[in-house]
Amino acid sequence: MHVLILGGTAEARRLAELLAAGAVPGLRATTSLAGRVTAPRLPPGDVRVGGFGGAEGLAAWLAEQEADALVDATHPFAGTVSRNAAKAAADAGVPLLALRRPGWVPVAGDVWHEAGSLAEAAELLPALGRRVFLTTGRMGLAAFAALDDLWFLVRSVDPPEPPVPSRGEVLLDRGPFTLDGERELLRRHRIDVVVTKDSGGAATAPKLAAARAAGLPVVVVRRPPVPAGVRVAATPEQALEWLARAGRGGR
Ligand code: NAP
């Protein structure tokens, strides 16, 4: 049995590791990466890099490579590839599972402002602060580029490309982050508002605890929905159970 894992997340890597260790006997995995990051953390097993050419290209790949199952373990905000996966799986007749880590939930002391998009987050900012810690990644920063009165600490894995905010600094770094590190960052840069996607997971959550401790507001960008009708697993272990069932002819 052959499974294609659409990757780019820690959960996708973990699933590939479990499968490489023989968690589902007789199952071989290929992980696909978009190729956005210059030095990605590679999972074990077969890896392919680059787009497929939309849903049609992905459906053709699934047929050519005789894939028996597809796990969309992409980032919760990678909406296009997830929509493509749903269409391609339906067209190719391949069972699909979305592996999505749960989103974050506010706790006592959090001051969260929800936004439906990066553009909406940018609209909220001027009323919330002057010095912004922007942690939404290097894509889509154009949404903040016109906010000339605000100063931005932009954190991303690879350097962002213009248009980007005119005032501020870029910090190239990749999680996991620590609470002490995040608190120090907020203090050193005199941050008064944080912007994040609702990415979920432990690796980047310390910024939320640091903001809470400092009493800072956080603008949280909501996730796009998982395509209708697609089954969702919250952990790599749940995905394994689904794969084991799929291997026995169940779903
Ligand atoms: P996207 O907007 O949903 O996808 C854009 C295009 O990139 C897709 O149409 C597809 O090209 C290609 N692509 C995306 N993921 C792919 C994969 N795993 N394998 C092969 N091709 C892929 O995605 P994105 O937001 O740019 O994210 C790109 C990658 O970075 C994803 O794999 C995601 O897991 C990871 N990532 C994203 C974020 C985020 O915040 N968006 C954060 C961390 C990691 P074709 O149409 O040509 O197939």
Examine the domain organization and report whether 155 and 242 are in the same domain.
Answer: no
Smallest CA separation from ligand 1 atom 39, residue? 77
Smallest CA separation from ligand 1 atom 32, residue? 8
- Give me the long-range contacts of 143-146 (CB less than 8 A, separation at least 24): 143/117, 143/118, 143/119, 144/118, 146/122
The mean pLDDT of 74-89, rounded to a whole number, is 97
- Answer whether residue 250 shows pLDDT above 80: no
Query: Could you tell me what percent of the chain has a pLDDT over 70?
Result: 99
Examine the domain organization and report whether 66 and 160 are in the same domain.
Answer: no
- pLDDT reported for residue 251: 65
Q: pLDDT of 199-246, one tens digit each?
A: 999 999 999 999 999 999 999 999 999 999 999 999 999 999 999 998
Host domain of residue 206: 111-221
Q: pLDDT of 34-79, one tens digit each?
A: 998 888 899 999 999 999 999 999 999 999 999 999 999 999 999 9
Measured from the CB, is residue 35 less than 6 Å from ligand 1? Answer: no
Give the whole-angstrom CA distance, residue 214 versus residue 192: 9
Measured from the CB, is residue 3 less than 6 Å from ligand 1? Answer: no
Give the whole-angstrom CA distance, residue 153 versus residue 131: 8
What three-state secondary structure class fits 2?
A: strand
Query: What does the mean pLDDT of the chain come to?
Result: 96
- pLDDT reported for residue 39: 87
| CA nearest to 144, candidates 163, 169, 170 | 163
- Answer whether residue 165 shows pLDDT above 80: yes
Classify residue 171 by burial, with Cβ atoms within 10 Å: 0-12, 13-18, 19+.
middle
Examine the domain organization and report whether 156 and 117 are in the same domain.
Answer: yes
The mean pLDDT of 91-106, rounded to a whole number, is 97
Q: pLDDT of 189-208, one tens digit each?
A: 999 999 999 999 999 999 99
Give the whole-angstrom CA distance, residue 67 versus residue 56: 15
CA dihedral sign, ordered 13, 11, 193, 214 = negative
Examine the domain organization and report whether 91 and 173 are in the same domain.
Answer: no
Examine the domain organization and report whether 146 and 208 are in the same domain.
Answer: yes
Examine the domain organization and report whether 18 and 115 are in the same domain.
Answer: no
Measured from the CB, is residue 6 less than 6 Å from ligand 1? Answer: yes
Question: What CATH number corresponds to the domain at position 136?
Answer: 3.40.50.720
- pLDDT reported for residue 246: 86
Measured from the CB, is residue 135 less than 6 Å from ligand 1? Answer: no
- pLDDT reported for residue 37: 86
Examine the domain organization and report whether 215 and 232 are in the same domain.
Answer: no
Examine the domain organization and report whether 149 and 202 are in the same domain.
Answer: yes
Pocket test for ligand 1, best of 42, 81, 141, 220 (most atoms within 8 A of CB): 81
Distance of CA 78 from the midpoint of ligand 1 (Å): 5
Examine the domain organization and report whether 118 and 202 are in the same domain.
Answer: yes
Smallest CA separation from ligand 1 atom 8, residue? 81
The count of domains in the chain is: 2
Examine the domain organization and report whether 210 and 142 are in the same domain.
Answer: yes
Measured from the CB, is residue 200 less than 6 Å from ligand 1? Answer: no
Other beta carbons less than 10 A from residue 26's beta carbon? 7
Measured from the CB, is residue 178 less than 6 Å from ligand 1? Answer: no
Question: Which pair of tokens denotes residue 74?
Answer: 């992409």
Pocket test for ligand 1, best of 38, 41, 74 (most atoms within 8 A of CB): 74
